[in-house]
Amino acid sequence: MQEEAVPPAVPVVPGDDVTVYPDAQDHRVSLHFEHITSSGIATVFKTAEPPEGVTPLGGIITDYFDFDVTFSFTGMVVVGLPYDETGLTRPEGLLTMWHYEGVIGDVNGDGNINRVDLFLIIRALGSRPGSSRWNAACDLNHDGRVTGTDLVMALRNLGKSGSDWVDVTINVDAVNNIVFGGTSGFPPFGIRYR
């Protein structure tokens, strides 16, 4: 499967109440952050198939959207994803955004919380963006640093596994053909009917 990066990656600076448009060709793709705490870039990837290791979303009507952000943030993120209304078979108000969510603490993305994840967090303890040991995946609470709090979050789920698609829909903008959803992380997203 080939991922299509939508160029260019968008530079992002710290701030409050910030909307980022990572797709220069379609500004309906958006990420709205409560608080961005460090600089970095945002990139969106669109694929016809889900990323490797991700169960397909049944009934998907768009590409899969996956985001890569290299900056730190806190609070909920509102994601906006576009859809094409031509060919819809049901009312637009029935569209929903789905997010593939894993168990908190799965730092390496293998679907399991185990000693590998704990080792990665321990190695990153005390780090912040820009430090040589910084690993954004270890910042489980998205506060811009890896601390004992992140380690405790992973320890609570030690031995757990599993991921699934979760409905994160906030609303549907039928005028501009955008579905909005709320999240705190960036595994893949897709749109389907309820």
- What pTM does this model have? 0.72
What was the pLDDT predicted at 8? 62
pLDDT for the residue numbered 2: 45
Question: How far is the C-alpha of 47 from the C-alpha of 111, rounded, in Å?
Answer: 21
Sketch out the chain's domains with CATH numbers. Answer: 1-103+162-194 (2.60.220), 105-161 (1.10.1330.10)
The rounded mean pLDDT for the chain is: 88
Helix, strand, coil percentages, rounded to 5, for the chain: 15, 40, 50
Sign of CA dihedral 42, 21, 29, 45: negative
pLDDT bracket for residue 5 (50, 70, 90): very low
Say yes or no to pLDDT of 92 above 50. yes
Average pLDDT over residues 114-126: 95
Q: What is the mean pLDDT of residues 83-102?
A: 91
What pLDDT score was predicted for residue 132?
93
The pLDDT assigned to 7 comes to: 52
Would you say residue 93 has pLDDT above 50?
yes
Rounded-to-integer distance, Cα 186 and Cα 67, Å? 6
pLDDT > 60? residue 3: no
pLDDT at 6 over 80: no
Alpha-carbon gap, residue 140 to 194, rounded angstroms: 30
Closest CA to 128 of 28, 33, 40, 26: 40
